[in-house]
């Protein structure tokens, strides 16, 4: 059962489909974030975006005039490097995806080969690659046949585009590679994997009971939150929660505008109040930067 909406100390939000869609911000998103900040709540954005950095996502949010200067943003693109380092140390990688993915992997000390390189690698890492080709499919299968393990930044098949379109995501590319290679063993670091939730809770210094995860994707945001022991709020956008999952989120609302209204109706969030916590009064703290995981750079 959901606690009073205001009783959580940390509010974890998915971004695409929750706060914005494409370049459009949802009505109520800015007001809800401002209310939470003014009430001293901790906020954390957890995105399965697999081709951008937290820095570029923050820039996009600031251009939408959202008060996100001090809100940590966790982007799946930047999770693979620390995940592999923590689990396996520095490794050799063939990567398919954006330059941002490649530079993040290098940042954590891994060796990254172009996908068509003849070098042996330990892992083939797949992120969203908008220039994915038949040749890249061929080369990635070849690397897997050579003994590399498959890592997906996320399993998402698509994310919502503007005007109701579906934008192909990393999972679609992974599906093609798996179909040819017949490699079923696969790791992923994006939601619903517990890694991003654990990282967020560590950074915020909170336990699962004091968190709520808010998202629009039942299979990533809601299952991931639930598996991490966190209460969940689902934005349905008019759809029905999949019955085959065998559970329901603690709260279902249509969208962020309805969640804002629920907060206000419950009188649990004041519109004024102190400007504490992740305040809106300036730039990020000195020394705090989007790439930092509190993990020493190897």
Contact stretch for Mg ion (CB under 5 A) within 7-15, 58-66, 145-153, 223-231: 7-15
The answer to whether 231 contacts Mg ion (rule: CB under 5 A) is no
Which of 13, 17, 224, 235 forms a contact with Mg ion (CB under 5 A)?
A: 17
Query: What are the phi and psi torsion angles at 112 (to 5°)?
Result: -115, 125
Closest contact distance (angstroms) between CB of 250 and Mg ion is 18
Comparison of 82 and 218: residue with beta carbon closer to Mg ion: 218
Contact stretch for Mg ion (CB under 5 A) within 8-16, 20-28, 104-112, 228-236: 8-16
Comparison of 14 and 122: residue with beta carbon closer to Mg ion: 14
Closest contact distance (angstroms) between CB of 32 and Mg ion is 16
Q: Which of 203, 255, 206 is nearest to 229 (CA)?
A: 206
Which residue sits closest to Mg ion, CB atoms considered? Answer: 17
Which of 8, 10, 11, 16 forms a contact with Mg ion (CB under 5 A)?
A: 16
Comparison of 95 and 217: residue with beta carbon closer to Mg ion: 217
Comparison of 76 and 150: residue with beta carbon closer to Mg ion: 76
Contact stretch for Mg ion (CB under 5 A) within 12-20, 183-191, 248-256, 260-268: 12-20
Angstrom distance (rounded) from CA 111 to CA 29? 40
Closest contact distance (angstroms) between CB of 48 and Mg ion is 7
Question: Considering CB under 5 A, how many residues would be counted as binding Mg ion?
Answer: 5
Angstrom distance (rounded) from CA 16 to CA 180? 30
Comparison of 67 and 224: residue with beta carbon closer to Mg ion: 224
Comparison of 14 and 100: residue with beta carbon closer to Mg ion: 14
Rg (CA), the chain: 19
Which of 13, 14, 76, 253 forms a contact with Mg ion (CB under 5 A)?
A: 14
Q: DSSP readout, 246-297?
A: ----SEEESSHHHHHHHHHHTT-S-SS----SS-SSSSPPTT--TT--S---
Query: What are the phi and psi torsion angles at 47 (to 5°)?
Result: -115, 140
Closest contact distance (angstroms) between CB of 74 and Mg ion is 14
The answer to whether 169 contacts Mg ion (rule: CB under 5 A) is no
Query: What are the phi and psi torsion angles at 182 (to 5°)?
Result: 60, 25
Angstrom distance (rounded) from CA 85 to CA 122? 12
The answer to whether 216 contacts Mg ion (rule: CB under 5 A) is yes
Q: Can you give 160-189 as a three-state secondary structure string?
A: ECHHHCEEECHHHHHHHHHHHHCCCCEEEC
Phi-psi group of 86: left, alpha or beta (phi > 0 → left; psi -120 to 50 → alpha; rest → beta): alpha
206 C-beta neighbours (distance < 10 Å), count: 18
Closest contact distance (angstroms) between CB of 159 and Mg ion is 6
Closest contact distance (angstroms) between CB of 239 and Mg ion is 13
Return residues touching Mg ion (CB under 5 A): 14, 16-17, 216-217
């Amino acid at each position: 059962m959901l606690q009073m909406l205001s009783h959580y100390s940390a509010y974890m939000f998915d971004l695409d489909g929750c706060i914005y869609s494409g370049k459009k911000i949802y009505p109520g998103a800015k007001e809800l974030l401002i209310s939470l900040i003014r009430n001293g709540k901790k906020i954390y954005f957890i995105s399965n975006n697999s081709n951008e950095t937290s820095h570029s996502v923050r820039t996009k949010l600031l251009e939408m005039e959202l008060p996100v200067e001090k809100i940590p943003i966790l982007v799946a693109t930047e999770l693979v490097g620390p995940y592999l380092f923590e689990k396996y140390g520095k490794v050799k990688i063939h990567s398919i995806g954006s330059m941002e993915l490649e530079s993040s992997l290098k940042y954590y000390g891994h060796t990254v080969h172009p996908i068509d390189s003849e070098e042996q690698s330990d892992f083939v890492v797949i992120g969203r690659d908008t220039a994915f080709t038949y040749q890249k499919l061929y080369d990635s299968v070849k690397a897997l046949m050579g003994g590399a393990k498959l890592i997906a930044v996320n399993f998402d098949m698509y994310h919502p585009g503007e005007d109701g379109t579906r934008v192909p995501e990393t999972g679609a590319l992974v599906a093609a590679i798996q179909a040819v290679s017949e490699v079923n063993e696969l790791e992923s670091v994006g939601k619903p994997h517990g890694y991003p939730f654990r990282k967020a809770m560590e950074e915020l210094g909170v336990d699962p009971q004091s968190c709520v995860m808010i998202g629009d994707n039942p299979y990533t945001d809601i299952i991931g939150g639930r598996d991490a022991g966190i209460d969940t709020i689902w934005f349905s956008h008019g759809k029905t929660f999949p019955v085959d999952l065998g559970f329901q989120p603690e709260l279902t609302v249509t969208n962020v505008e309805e969640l804002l209204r629920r907060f206000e109706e419950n009188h649990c969030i004041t519109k004024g109040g102190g400007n504490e916590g992740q305040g809106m009064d300036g730039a990020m703290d000195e020394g705090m930067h989007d790439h930092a995981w509190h993990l020493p750079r190897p």
